[in-house]
Amino acid sequence: NAGVTQTPKFRILKIGQSMTLQCAQDMNHNYMYWYRQDPGMGLKLIYYSVGAGITDKGEVPNGYNVSRSTTEDFPLRLELAAPSQTSVYFCASSQGQGAGGYTFGSGTRLTVV
Amino acid sequence: QKEVEQNSGPLSVPEGAIASLNCTYSDRGSQSFFWYRQYSGKSPELIMSIYSNGDKEDGRFTAQLNKASQYVSLLIRDSQPSDSATYLCAGWGAAGNKLTFGGGTRVLVKP
């Protein structure tokens, strides 16, 4: 049971480039989330999804896009990367309230230069 | 106003002592709460969950929940240097679609 798998683990992007951070879970969780965490700071919610075909904005959605075509996958797209998007990105999944907390992936460390 | 508040620390604790971490929340509709441990450079790891008022013990960890006072705490007994990490408090909001996280308390256990 792999849990939540994020790829890549590390990436360096140039300003203006685009990329997709991949997130997949094999626990049949309906709820999935993307967070970013800047050095020494807390988690900030970017986007979340409560099921396939449903996505919603979190606190800091600008500069990002998501899609949820399957229960298993929740990719995060960065368009026109900016230095302010340098951060560690965590994907998480959950069964929802009453069924426990989140399971987090191991994270993607992104640097935009 | 942040919905889940934690003292950012650092909380410095001698090895073998009890570390006491506190968390308050503003959403009275929150029903269940979680404590995550996050080592530097790693992802958060769930260490405790608590759903009803009172205490819940798991090994060296005890979580306490007081819904009337909107207060959650975590005690770490016999603290070890390996307990040095940031501890995040989180609760499901009334809407039930996402956790709200506190900013975390950094704990340093000194040998």
The answer to whether the CB atoms of A101 and B101 lie below 8 A apart is: no
Q: What is the 3-state secondary structure (H, E, C) of A28-85?
A: CCCEEEEEEECCCCCEEEEEEEEECCEEEECCCCCCEEECCCCCCECCEEECCCCHHH
Q: Which of A100, A81, A93 is nearest to A34 (CA)?
A: A93
Mutation site for B-interface testing, chosen from A35, A50, A97 by largest number of B Cβ within 10 Å: A97
Q: Do B89 and B23 touch, CB atoms closer than 8 A?
A: yes
- Give the number of residues written for chain A: 113
Is the pLDDT reported for residue A58 higher than 80? yes
Report CA Rg, chain A: 13
> pLDDT > 90: what percent of chain A?
92
Query: CB neighbours (10 Å) of residue B65?
Result: 21
| pLDDT at residue B54 is higher than 70 | yes
Tell me what the mean pLDDT of segment B55-81 comes to. Answer: 96
Among candidates B43, B92, B97 on the partner chain, residue whose Cβ is nearest the Cβ of A105:
B43
- Of B43, B98, B103, nearest to A104 by CB-CB distance is B43
pLDDT tens column, A78-100 = 999 999 999 999 999 999 877 78
What pLDDT, on a 0 to 100 scale, did the predictor assign at position B94? 76
The DSSP 8-state label assigned to residue B33 in this structure reads E
